[in-house]
Structure 1
Amino acid sequence: MMAAVGLKRRSFMDIHHGTLALASSRGLTAFVTEFVKHLVGRLRPDFMSRCQWDAVATACTGKLSAIEEGRKSFPSGHSSTAFSGMMLLSLWIAGQTGAWCFTGPPPAMSVLSSHMLRFFLAMLPLIWATWVAISRLEDYRHHKEDIIVGSLLGIGFATISYLMYWPSPLLAEGAHLPRMLYHDDGRREQDHFQLYGVEGDIDIDNTT
């Protein structure tokens, strides 16, 4: 979606920032999730079915790969992965549409004139990620603590990654513009806003 909007705007910066934001969000989340999984080694709720315990041999007789995977319950990788992507997308949609800014002026008459519709669109990715997380509990693959921590990891790294490349979606103006990461002075920053058609005086310090 970020790439499609960037192509429509003919903005390499939108595509560049979207790619880096997604890569950093996913990469940081995956690294921390896997590190903690191997560090903690918590048993999954279905570990005994994976183990296939033999009372005579007093050992697990299941597949080694399934047994090893059964010791990686905390945190939930599906939950962290889903939220690392969907939280980023939710923030981006909110920034592009002003869905989370309740003090700014209403947009021009269009299909997105309804604030409730824009808010719902921004929440859709989070609804999907929540469904993914809940499915791990329903399938008896994780404990509730695994899902909560995994979800928080994804949300945290997605928020950090988004704010590295875009302003806060709560801003009344300029929230839809990617940050100018490489510039020499405020003049270049002002040129950036003019390039995107933002009129008037912009408080550069609050948008960079």
Structure 2
Amino acid sequence: MAGMTLQEKLVAFRVWELITSIVVIGGVFAITSSTLYLRPIPHVAIQLNATNTIYARDPSLDLTEGVEQVPLSVAIAIYYATPLLVHAAFQWHRFVMNDTRDFMLTLAMSTAVCQLLTHFGKVTAGRFRPSFYDMCDWDTSIVWDGVANLCRNPKGEAEGRKSFPSGHASGAFSTLFLVTLYLLGRSKLLAGSALATQRGFLASVNFFLALVPTVVAMWISITRSQDNWHHYSDILVYLLGCYVSLTCVTRCQAGSVIGILASILAYCFNYGSLFDYKSAGMPLETLRDLKEVDVPAFNDLQDSGLP
């Protein structure tokens, strides 16, 4: 890096790309403070006779607000401590050039895409949580006409209108599923190669260990329904991204980024295909540098066996 200008260093360390992700994350706060879409409060109409109708609360929104099994502070700690510790362990075991820089950028990009889509969805969808009436402190002492808003807690009402999509689910998969992709890449378990296809006990163990972060993400997501903070459909919209990922990672090397899951988009943007032995787990820029500078060294590095 000696002799490089400041601008060249900023480009080399991909600082501008990191700043872009940070700006997007900061812009999410503007989205969260924007006007929330207010749906009419749903009701159940019960016709007693030709002239009389009574109105009741929607039973799908009348559950009790549960204590969060995974509070937001705990969730954030899991989301970011896990990938950072896993990355540090792999870099200590087998150093890969540019991996720390690109992994941090990938994590930031995944977070930016995730938070942007999640909070945009929340304020524009305005879907009621399963425990909406409990959250908004619904006044049950008044006979409801099916139209009046009987919420006594404005803050709780606003929170109760942000069910879709699940922030916990999107946050979990944008970081923990990214760890699974990273583990599969560094271990080259999905790569097509004579070395990689020599399956055995250790390869099977590594494969299932790589799935552990995804299982944790699923557990965090499921607790949101158990705690009556989300409908299952709020959660499943992000689990479907796992299927999309299988298509996306096969085409990363060609630069084609498809899918909606933030971790997939970020991983494909910075890393090689999981299904190519020479690129699995390698930052794309490192692959380009090795190919351009010393092709034999690149081949020796990639054919040296599993890390």
Which residue does the alignment assign to 2:267?
Answer: 162
Q: Which has the larger radius of gyration?
A: 2
Aligned sequence identity (%): 31
User: TM-score by structure 1 length?
Assistant: 0.80
Measured against aligned partners, the alpha-carbon deviations of 1:82-104 in whole angstroms (never above 9, x if no partner) come to: 00001111011001112223654
Letter in 1 for 2:151: C
Which residue among 261, 265, 276 is the counterpart of 1:171?
276
Matched, 1:197 2:265: no
Which residue does the alignment assign to 2:130?
Answer: 45
Inter-CA distance 37–160: structure 2 relative to 1 (3 Å threshold): same
Take 2:132 and 2:159, find their aligned partners in 1: how far apart are those partners? 9
Which residue does the alignment assign to 2:13?
Answer: none
Letter in 1 for 2:182: W
Inter-CA distance 198–170: structure 2 relative to 1 (3 Å threshold): closer
User: Could you tell me how far 1:4 is from its partner in structure 2?
Assistant: 4.0
Instruction: Give aligned pairs, total.
Output: 196
Contact 1:47–1:67 (CA under 8 A) maintained in structure 2 = yes
What is the RMSD computed on CA atoms of the aligned residues? 3.0
Contact 1:29–1:153 (CA under 8 A) maintained in structure 2 = no
Structure 2 portions without partners, runs of 5+: 1-85, 143-147, 246-260
Higher relative contact order (CA 8 A, sep 6+): 1
Take 1:11 and 1:92, find their aligned partners in 2: how far apart are those partners? 13
Take 1:172 and 1:125, find their aligned partners in 2: how far apart are those partners? 23
Matched, 1:95 2:185: yes
Inter-CA distance 78–185: structure 2 relative to 1 (3 Å threshold): closer
Which residue does the alignment assign to 2:80?
Answer: none
Which residue among 132, 135, 146 is the counterpart of 2:223?
135
Take 1:100 and 1:88, find their aligned partners in 2: how far apart are those partners? 15
Measured against aligned partners, the alpha-carbon deviations of 1:61-94 in whole angstroms (never above 9, x if no partner) come to: 13x3222111000010000000000111101100
Contact 2:127–2:162 (CA under 8 A) maintained in structure 1 = yes
Inter-CA distance 152–192: structure 2 relative to 1 (3 Å threshold): farther
Take 1:96 and 1:124, find their aligned partners in 2: how far apart are those partners? 15
Contact 2:176–2:213 (CA under 8 A) maintained in structure 1 = yes
User: Could you tell me how far 1:166 is from its partner in structure 2?
Assistant: 1.0
Inter-CA distance 185–5: structure 2 relative to 1 (3 Å threshold): closer
User: Could you tell me how far 1:43 is from its partner in structure 2?
Assistant: 0.2
Letter in 1 for 2:131: D
Take 1:140 and 1:41, find their aligned partners in 2: how far apart are those partners? 16
Which residue does the alignment assign to 2:152?
Answer: 61
User: Could you tell me how far 1:173 is from its partner in structure 2?
Assistant: 2.7
Contact 2:98–2:283 (CA under 8 A) maintained in structure 1 = yes
Take 1:48 and 1:192, find their aligned partners in 2: how far apart are those partners? 64
Deviates more, 1:147-156 or 1:161-170: 147-156
